[in-house]
Amino acid sequence: MSSTNSIQIGQQETSFWGRLRLTLARRTEGRGVALLAVVLVVVAFTEPLVFTAYPVSLGRIALIGLVALGLTAVILMGELDLSVASTLALSGVVMAMIPDVALGVIAALAVGLVVGMINAFLVAIVGINSFIATLGMLFALRGLGFVLSNEAPVRMANTDAGIAFGLPLLGPLTPRVLIFIVAFIALQIFVSRVKAGREFFAVGGNRQAAYDAGIPVKRRIFTGFLISGFVASLAGAINTLERTAADPTAGSTVLLASFAAAIIGGNYLKGGRGSIVGTLIGATALGVLQVALTLTGVQVPVQQIFIGLILLLAVTTDPANLRAVLGSIRSVRQGRLKSQT
């Protein structure tokens, strides 16, 4: 075999196990899969009702997952969108205020796009850190939701549409779950097959390099925030349809769970690494966990503690973080050794 016209980088793995190991090393969903496995096994033994009452579980997964999908698009670029919770609440309120359902949904989605536009403007053009910019938006939009709703839940005028929306449409799947599946497939294709979506990874991995390579970084940031705003408002509209009323305080528990889902699913907060599949796995684990806790009659504070602990665990056990910790411990130890000699 001649190797004159090919450059060999590292050892070429030819055996099946070698290739499998390489594929697994490239994936980022490890922690999500581990959590899902633990949750599924524990739930199967303690509360099998979660699986028999699967429409409830699927609905929960769809709600957490939908918001988490939008977040993933932003996190892949190393940005964060904290305003999703308020976007969800605000678009729900706007939708409930409009008597016509179709018009309401369109208005709600428009709210999401406008919010995404403002977020992206603040981050890409003004140059504010996305954590702080979207945090400010979180409070401002919550205030706007309170103002529009007079600080009380808004009832939908057309409750029949809401009731029809809650019924299974295709087999046992409700429209909410179907919309989530469609959004998942669309986003998966977008980030893995479409050029603009693949550029998200480049922008998140190394922004300067992406810029130098001719990728329109600012336009991609706009795309990302538009996606997360749109998806959050979609979740808000679905929430309102299912409850036939909009709560201006909605979304604060979803915020925590969807962040936990996206981060435990292997999406690196500094950007460049992660996957839509990972988010789905994380959302499934957290949705099943939440439904199981509710069905076993665990109090709401305990559920908050559980989700909070998972989020804390998710954000501290990121492989890159752990490597940094090990590296700093090693360097401190080496420093000690040197100072002793």
- Binding stretches for other proteins (CB under 8 A): 80, 82, 122, 126-129, 131-133, 135-148, 151, 255-256, 259-260, 263, 269, 299-305, 307-309, 311-312, 315-318, 321-322, 324-325, 328, 332
Phi, psi of 185 (to 5 degrees): -65, -45
Taking the complex as a whole, the smallest distance from the CB of residue 142 to other proteins amounts, in Å, to 6
Taking the complex as a whole, the smallest distance from the CB of residue 328 to other proteins amounts, in Å, to 7
Tokens, residue 238: 């679905």
> Of 103 and 325, which has the nearer Cβ to other proteins?
325
Taking the complex as a whole, the smallest distance from the CB of residue 158 to other proteins amounts, in Å, to 25
Q: What dihedral do alpha carbons 246, 252, 253, 257 form, nearest 10°?
A: 120
> Of 50 and 133, which has the nearer Cβ to other proteins?
133
Tokens, residue 225: 């925030």
Instruction: List all residues 6 or more positions away from 259 whose beta carbon is below 8 Å from its beta carbon.
Output: 68, 71, 311
Phi, psi of 170 (to 5 degrees): -125, 105
Q: Are 94 and 108 in contact (CB under 8 A)?
A: yes
Could you write out the DSSP letters of every residue in 68-79? HHHHHHHHTTT-
Instruction: List all residues 6 or more positions away from 2 whose beta carbon is below 8 Å from its beta carbon.
Output: none
Taking the complex as a whole, the smallest distance from the CB of residue 129 to other proteins amounts, in Å, to 6
> Of 82 and 217, which has the nearer Cβ to other proteins?
82
Taking the complex as a whole, the smallest distance from the CB of residue 304 to other proteins amounts, in Å, to 4
Handedness of CA 38, 41, 42, 43 (dihedral sign): positive
Could you write out the DSSP letters of every residue in 257-309? HHHHHHHHTT--TTSS---HHHHHHHHHHHHHHHHHHHHTT--HHHHHHHHHH
Q: Rg of the chain's alpha carbons, rounded to an integer?
A: 22
Taking the complex as a whole, the smallest distance from the CB of residue 307 to other proteins amounts, in Å, to 7
> Of 19 and 323, which has the nearer Cβ to other proteins?
323
> Of 105 and 232, which has the nearer Cβ to other proteins?
232
> Of 81 and 199, which has the nearer Cβ to other proteins?
81
Taking the complex as a whole, the smallest distance from the CB of residue 196 to other proteins amounts, in Å, to 26
Closest of 229, 251, 247, 250 to residue 149, by C-alpha = 247
Q: Rounded distance, CA 104 to CA 91, Å?
A: 9
> Of 85 and 235, which has the nearer Cβ to other proteins?
85
